[in-house]
């Protein structure tokens, strides 16, 4: 196995202290938003054998295993991260696999540069993802029932929100949500900024269930995404709980530290809470206008102590082991590639001693024994 040297991304929404605290190092004074573990070409993890993407490229079948290569191609199909948010990320959705392929091919035909600010599809892959809380973690996930969204908006007693309340009451679920989100994102920007300002003031005054939206508006004053966010379920995860974000489900992370895993893609369509490009027509084509429960996941324990976060995705499988002091070591050897990440205590992984925030890559079929005391997350694939 290979100890990983991982890149930390300094996005503006990132916490200055959370990742350094986990790693036991001094903060730099700059935001540290995401630590990437994997072979993504944008920031591949380093190993003693070279960057992980190059190591895999040299012998994909040895590193990934024949079954994974046959199913996903000669690339590691997931990206593992530690994510530390202190401000809201953009409100966004991801395409399904067919939509991603169609969108990517269309933009390629039209000659849109891959790094263009208005490009939606950077690759032909979907981007399902899972976030597992390490601390209390706040987010938005999926649409509220229209009646519940109408009640939330009506409670603010803001005149310019009343047309949205009426629309939410007047139509069946899908049509109501589509009409209101469309109206919010296509409204006159100056008028919408005034509505958001009034909404933010009312949220601050009322507090309680409105407090998260006051905080969102503080970070994104005048942004239509503040109103769009009120159409979504607010979720507060406790440590160990998780959310799965499938295709077309609008979501945003607001605050907290977590382990995130996703299919290896950069495809994001934004709804708001961002200075970046918002392609409203394409967004409306991708969003699934379905009211849904956010579906908080709790791990399912197996007899050998593995706690699995079950998802309908094969590109990644995330599980957790809480390893007791003095217990017999666990054999995690698999015929698929793995990344093992320590998040608490001290974990012995093969020849490496891992402290919180440290990780290793385990090639397919490579011997992988771990012991504690500590907590380790295991990322792999389903073949």
Residues sharing a CB contact under 8 Å with residue 106, sequence separation 6 or more, in sequence order: 121
270 is catalytic: yes
| Distance (Å) of CA 349 to CA 55, 154, 225, 295, 374 | 20, 54, 44, 33, 11
270 close to 228: Cβ distance less than 8 angstroms: no
Catalytic residue of the set 144, 270, 317, 334: 270
The three-class DSSP label of residue 129 is strand
89 close to 273: Cβ distance less than 8 angstroms: yes
334 close to 91: Cβ distance less than 8 angstroms: no
| Distance (Å) of CA 45 to CA 49, 52, 132, 237, 349 | 11, 6, 21, 28, 18
The strand pairing partners of 234, in sequence order, are: 140
CA 151, CA 148: separation in Å to the nearest integer? 5
CA 342, CA 356: separation in Å to the nearest integer? 5
DSSP-assigned states of every residue in 264-304: S----EEEESSSS---HHHHHHH----B-----B-PEE-TT
- In a 13 Å sphere around the CA of 46, the CA atoms on its Cβ side amount to 5
Catalytic residues: 270
């Amino acid at each position: 196995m290979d100890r990983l040297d991982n890149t930390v991304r300094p996005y503006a929404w990132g916490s200055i202290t959370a990742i350094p605290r986990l790693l036991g190092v001094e903060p730099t004074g700059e935001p540290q938003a995401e630590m990437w573990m994997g072979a993504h070409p944008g920031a591949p993890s380093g190993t003693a054998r070279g960057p992980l993407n190059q190591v895999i490229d040299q012998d994909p079948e040895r590193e990934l295993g024949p079954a994974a290569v046959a199913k996903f191609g000669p690339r590691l199909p997931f990206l593992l991260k530690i994510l530390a948010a202190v401000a809201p990320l953009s409100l966004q959705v991801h395409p399904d696999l067919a939509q991603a392929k169609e969108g990517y091919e269309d933009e390629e035909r039209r000659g849109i540069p891959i790094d263009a600010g208005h490009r939606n599809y950077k690759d032909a892959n979907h981007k399902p993802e899972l976030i597992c809380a390490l601390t209390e973690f706040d987010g938005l996930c999926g649409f509220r029932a229209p009646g519940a969204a109408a009640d939330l908006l009506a409670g603010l007693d803001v005149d310019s929100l009343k047309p949205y309340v009426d629309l939410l009451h007047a139509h069946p679920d899908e049509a109501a949500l589509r009409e209101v989100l469309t109206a919010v994102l296509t409204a006159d920007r100056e008028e919408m900024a005034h509505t958001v300002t009034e909404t933010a003031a009312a949220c601050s005054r009322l507090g309680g269930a409105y407090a998260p939206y006051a905080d969102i508006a503080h970070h994104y004053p005048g942004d239509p995404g503040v109103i769009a966010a009120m159409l979504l379920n607010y979720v507060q995860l406790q440590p160990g709980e998780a959310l799965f974000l499938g295709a077309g489900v609008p979501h945003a992370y607001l605050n907290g530290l977590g382990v995130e895993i996703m299919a290896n893609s950069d495809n994001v369509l934004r709804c708001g809470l961002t200075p970046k490009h918002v392609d409203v027509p394409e967004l409306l084509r991708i969003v699934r206008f379905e009211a849904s429960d956010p579906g908080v996941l709790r791990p399912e324990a197996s007899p050998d102590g593995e706690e699995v976060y079950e998802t309908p995705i094969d590109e990644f499988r995330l599980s957790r082991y809480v390893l007791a002091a003095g217990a017999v070591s666990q054999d995690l050897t698999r015929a698929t590639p793995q990344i093992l990440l320590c998040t608490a205590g001290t974990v012995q992984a093969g020849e490496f001693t891992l402290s919180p925030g440290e990780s290793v890559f385990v090639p397919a079929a490579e011997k992988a024994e771990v012991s504690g005391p500590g907590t380790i997350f295991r990322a792999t694939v389903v073949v």
